[in-house]
């Protein structure tokens, strides 16, 4: 099942018909996707399911209904096992950003981490799952697909937030601080940590 976040509310792409209780279900082939997005953005729908018998095809069809923006980001550990976080728009987030023409996704992720935080000497250890969310730019809705990578670094220099990207703070957070930060973060970021609990216990 794929989870797409719209205004931090979940939209599930599913191939099973579930009985509606606290959510609304729509058929992917016939849904007016823009109307659904607007309702979720305006808090009229808190949770929705889009049904299609073929889950992988469902994602492909969804991408045909809305422009896609690709991004790369990093879940970065230092030698003490702390994780690199940024603070932007009043929330804790992980460094990420859009792919540039002709750039490999791993290179995007490392470049964005370095630009947004000042951290260098990054090594990719593992590929994590992708996350999906819908955002609005210049009056148009887009689906952002972020490719995440687990990274390590021995960097011990000064952290510098990229001001023109609205980053007001950069910090290495330990497991306790991460729990606290995730209370004021995005659902996609929480999802990343839920899926990789094992990593926090390293």
Per the model's pLDDT, the better-predicted residue between 202 and 41 turns out to be 41
Residues 89 and 21 both lie in one domain: no
Domain endpoint, select from 42, 65, 88: 65
Range of the structural domain that residue 158 is part of: 74-200
Residues 111 and 187 both lie in one domain: yes
pLDDT for 202 beyond 50: no
Residues 61 and 79 both lie in one domain: no
pLDDT at 201: 47
* Number of domains, the chain: 2
pLDDT at 155: 97
Count of alpha carbons within 13 Å of 60, Cβ hemisphere only?
Answer: 5
Residues 185 and 162 both lie in one domain: yes
The CATH number of residue 165's host domain is 3.90.79.10
pLDDT at 197: 62
Percent of the chain with pLDDT over 90: 89
Q: How far apart are CA 72 and CA 159, in angstroms?
A: 20
> Is 48 within 8 Å of 26 (Cβ atoms)?
yes
Beta-bridged to residue 104, according to DSSP, are none
Residues 86 and 28 both lie in one domain: no
Domain endpoint, select from 65, 94, 110: 65
Residues 166 and 193 both lie in one domain: yes
Mean pLDDT of 121-149: 96
Lowest-confidence region among 15-24, 51-60, 93-102: 15-24
Residues 93 and 173 both lie in one domain: yes
């Amino acid at each position: 099942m794929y989870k797409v976040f719209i205004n931090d509310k979940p939209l599930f792409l599913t191939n099973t018909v579930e009985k509606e209780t606290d959510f609304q279900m729509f058929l992917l082939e016939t849904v007016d996707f823009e109307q659904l997005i607007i309702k979720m953005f305006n808090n009229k729908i808190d949770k929705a399911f889009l049904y299609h018998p073929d889950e992988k095809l469902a994602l492909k069809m969804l991408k045909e209904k809305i422009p896609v923006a690709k991004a790369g980001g990093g879940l970065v550990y230092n030698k003490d096992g702390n994780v690199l976080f940024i603070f932007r728009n009043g929330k804790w987030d992980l460094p990420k950003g859009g792919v540039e023409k002709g750039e490999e996704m791993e290179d995007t992720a490392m470049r964005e981490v370095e630009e947004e935080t000042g951290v260098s000497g990054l090594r990719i250890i593992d590929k994590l799952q992708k996350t999906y969310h819908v955002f609005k730019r210049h009056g148009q809705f887009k689906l952002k697909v972020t490719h995440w990578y687990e990274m390590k670094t021995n960097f011990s220099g000064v952290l510098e937030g990229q001001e023109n990207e609205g980053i007001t703070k950069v910090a290495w957070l330990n497991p306790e601080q991460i729990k606290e930060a995730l209370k004021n973060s995005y659902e996609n970021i929480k999802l990343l940590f839920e899926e990789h609990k094992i990593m926090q216990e390293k």
